[in-house]
Chain A
Amino acid sequence: MQLFMKNVLAASATLWLGLAAGGHADTPVTYTQAGQALFRFDVPDFWMLRTGGMRDIEDTQLGDTRAVARVMGLRPVTDDKVWMGFVSPTGVATIRDGVRYLQDIDKFLVNDPQVTSTSDMSIGGRPAKVIRGTGRRDGRGVSFTATVIDLPRDRVAVSVAVIRDGADPAYADELNAVYASFRPLQ
């Protein structure tokens, strides 16, 4: 009986402590370039973040090395049907430029894109252009949301969220929570 009580006590204490630890908030992340903080957002719990960084890449056919800005990519740990990325491309200063920057999205992120809606909204207190659409990737249907967010000092943040067909619709809430946590930094 005594041993049973001990076990019960220990199990309950572990459970409570585990629950308390499980109540962590999301993880704040800051996008920086050359030591300058541009914006921040929260990574949801149990999502992976790939931070990347400034680097030079080269198309072997062109033989032209070019500098590429930091790309931050995030996705749920246990599900690859959802992906979201952020980049603040160098030299893209306005939302209009950002939209032009995204015009070639069909060559890379999504095949046969069909834009279903375009809207202006505010994200993190800054004006933003949101382009929603559908397309295909690796033979599967996807829906995408491309966003250009105006930042201080002639910068923009470009973000793309992709949800593959068949993904849990609840992921849209988590993606929107990331946008809700988005804050530009001075």
Chain B
Amino acid sequence: MKLRNQLKAALRSLGKNKMRTFLTMLGIIIGVASVIAMLAIGQGSKESIQKQIANLGTNLLTVFPSASMTGGVRMEAGSSVKLTMDDYKAVSSRCPAVLYSTPTVRTSGQLIAGGQNWRTTVWGVYPDYFNIRNLEIEKGAAFTLNDDRTATKVCVIGQTVNKYLFGEGQDPTGKIIRINKIPFQVIGLIATKGQNAWGQDQDDIVIAPFNTVQVRMMTVAYIQSIMLSATSEKMIPEATDEVTQVLKERHRLGPSEDPDFSIRSQADISSAATATSSILTALLASIASISLLVGGIGIMNIMLVSVTERTREIGIRMGVGARGRDVLLQFLIEALMISLIGGLLGVGLGIIASGVIASIMSWPVTITIQSIVLSFMFSTVIGIFFGWYPARKAASLNPIDALRYE
């Protein structure tokens, strides 16, 4: 039998029992829709986590000196003063896997501008810091290496600082603030970064040239940490190894000795968070696919009823020359049509449902083409899988028995 006639016949016989066909389809519609919605929620949360992590800085590595030990008492990490400017220079010049790098010092400072004051952390860094942390300058400009060399008293401030000192939306560039009584000229305003994944306000910050903070404010010789970015995400382990090697060599430590510094990378946090959200997505999708499976069983059930009901029709068709495979195909096409049409409607419903979830629950939701293709294919496979047994049963009927069936 020609495919076109098969399709026509299948459509007609599905049309004969509209209510039944629709209810059977509903199982697949709900199944596909929930798979798409669940995958969209999973993907959305994954992306929002990744975005937050990327917000912290791209391929960020931070080198801290280890905890200092005084008479057997360990102090907190970073309390040692063993990182020096020479360490930084060695790292920045001898590690090919490192793209940007900066030494950092930070201190807290009381800021005063006009009648307002505010207390926050003041960072002393190289201009590379803006690249490492993905900071954008909204107004004005960042300082340069030249400002650092001459220890110029300029700074760039975050939105929160601007809000408390000058008022929200004001342009602070050119204004003078006093940090711990030292006057600084504000030359730039950082674009809003928002909170990081741990709820810390990333806009509550003042950034000034490294030398200015180290020499003029803190009057120390050490550096507190080295921040750097690897050339790519894949190069993070490579960069870690290079930095470890260079620093161990400079600190005269053997390869088997414990380093007196530690390197923290964003990759650990990122992969842990991504793994968590992947597990969440898989969990949601597998629960949703169970409903798709139940829908498939519904198809099988109805097709079995249909085969029994239409035994005589099968007998007539075989009597006039339908082969087993013609009958098999006829019932398989009917099952497939239910699941394909159900799948299509399900995709539509899934997209609508995702939109509703996004707007009512205000969850991040991302529908991917893959999730649509995947769930549509899954529903097709279910149609074939659960349609096969009833179709097989119909095809294996004996024509004479089928014709006699009452």
Q: Do A and B bind each other?
A: no
A residues at B contact (CB < 8 Å): none
